[in-house]
Amino acid sequence: MKVRVDVMLKTGVLDPQGEAVRHALGNLGFSGVESVRQGKVIELDLADGASEEDVRKMCEKLLANTVIENYAIKVL
Amino acid sequence: MKVRVDVMLKTGVLDPQGEAVRHALGNLGFSGVESVRQGKVIELDLADGASEEDVRKMCEKLLANTVIENYAIKVL
């Protein structure tokens, strides 16, 4: 089972990485970049028998910091 | 214009972060995790008039290291 997990900062949480990218794009001459948000994408290859609930537990325990991040699970 | 860029390591390129996550999941008792690949997702909010070609140039110049990474652009 192949699963993809997207982890993004919750809205309202300061995103220094995104700000740094926005700033750098400006320095490279790209105008019109209003905001940049950066997150993680994690692709998991799981043995048969694994469930989406298992992946949810993986997210809660390790893959996402649920205090400041949201995660979305997509079975591929 | 809202755009999403997914940046993943090319297949065959060693992914130490993915390996570390796989290892940690095993230590947390999650069996059956065969492989883990970790990448970046970047959400850009661009002023009207920006084009997908602009985003492609942003990827080539900054957002992705095209020697070891692939990127995919999706206009939201």
Which of B32, B43, B45 comes nearest A49 by C-beta? B32
- Give the model's pLDDT for residue B70: 97
Question: Per residue of chain B (76 residues), what is the pLDDT tens digit?
Answer: 999 999 999 999 999 999 999 999 999 999 999 999 999 999 999 999 899 999 999 999 999 999 999 999 999 9
Q: Which domain holds residue A70?
A: 2-75
Tell me: the pLDDT tens digits for A41-75? Answer: 999 999 998 999 999 999 999 999 999 999 999 99
What DSSP letter does each residue of chain A carry, written as one string? -EEEEEEEEPTTS--HHHHHHHHHHHHTT---EEEEEEEEEEEEEE-TT--HHHHHHHIIIII--TTTEEEEEEE-
Nearest to B38 among A28, A40, A47 (CB): A40
Q: Provide the pLDDT for residue B62.
A: 97
CATH number at residue A71: 3.30.1280.10
Contacts of B42 in chain A (CB under 8 A): 18, 21, 36-39
Number of domains in chain B: 1
Name the nearest CA neighbour of A71 among A4, A13, A21, A15.
A4
Q: How high is the ipTM of this complex?
A: 0.89
- Interface residues of B toward A, Cβ cutoff 8 Å, are 6, 8, 18, 21, 24-25, 28, 30-47, 49-50, 54, 57-58, 61-63
Structure confidence at residue B14 (pLDDT)? 95
